[in-house]
Amino acid sequence: MEFRKLIITEDGSPSLHNEELKESYHSRRGALAESQHVFIKNGFYKINKNNFRIIEFGFGTGLNCLLTLLEAKNQTPMRTIEYVGVEKFPLKASEYYNLWIELNKQVAVDDINPKDFYEKSFEMPVELLSNFLLKNISIDFLKINPEVIGTFDLLYFDCFGAQAQPELWGEDMAKICADVLNTGGVLTTYSSKASFRRALEKNNFQVGKVPGALGKREMMIATKL
């Protein structure tokens, strides 16, 4: 998990490549375009509340968080967001240093301190904006306990693919997803894996499919009933 290399994807936005799992953190065809489509358009904009909680499975580079923060910054009426990232393998300063420079070329984040974003947020909640609070938790997804972290309105399910981590696309994870979401809460993911869809349905989700990012045929949006 520790061998991560900075890559620049086809739309110019940065991502990381995990050399051990041979997995990229985003689509090589465009990290920014993929995140915008899967998590902002088909996640953030599905929530009709002004005050809500988001949980991300796989904080990684923080790109999904930054794009969400930009929406929170620019939207009227103002929406207040509490964002909790779950990440077992947080980035070290040597890994995020150059990544942050590249991210700044794509998303204007220079008023945020990267040390607060990638390190302090794992120790305590960090107020990135008056209406945006970030907290990160360094644990295994399979050990998430809603009694400790509470429940959420939106889940960005951004784990590595099932070919690399099949244990994250089974019944156990589907149950954890159901447990961390409020009734009416939404899970969005780049995947359309049929066995995960069935596992979600068994756990009280209504699952819909929409066109995926960058020409990908389908992705899933699931609502907790």
Ligand X SMILES: C[S@@+](CC[C@H](N)C(=O)[O-])C[C@H]1O[C@@H](n2cnc3c(N)ncnc32)[C@H](O)[C@@H]1O
- Which residues of this protein are in contact with ligand X, per CB under 6 A? 1, 25, 58, 60-61, 63-64, 86-89, 140-141, 158-160, 165
CB nearer ligand X, residue 64 or residue 203? 64
Question: Which of 52, 94, 91 has its CA nearest to residue 71?
Answer: 52
CB nearer ligand X, residue 164 or residue 225? 164
**Least distance to ligand X, CB of residue 213, Å:** 13
**Least distance to ligand X, CB of residue 171, Å:** 16
Question: Which of 92, 16, 10, 97 has its CA nearest to residue 61?
Answer: 16
Which residues lie below 8 Å from residue 43, measured CB to CB, with a gap of 6+?
A: 154, 156, 186, 188, 221
**Least distance to ligand X, CB of residue 79, Å:** 20
Tokens of 16: 């990381």
Place of tokens 């990684």: 60
CB nearer ligand X, residue 9 or residue 203? 9
b/e map 82-112, b = 16+ CB within 10 Å: bbbbbbeebbeeebbeebbebbeebeebeeb
CB nearer ligand X, residue 30 or residue 60? 60
Tokens of 88: 């077992």
CB nearer ligand X, residue 17 or residue 78? 17
**Least distance to ligand X, CB of residue 222, Å:** 18
- Residue nearest ligand X, CB atom distance: 60
**Least distance to ligand X, CB of residue 63, Å:** 4
Question: d(Cα 56, Cα 170) in Å, to the nearest integer?
Answer: 18
**Least distance to ligand X, CB of residue 105, Å:** 16
CB nearer ligand X, residue 5 or residue 51? 5
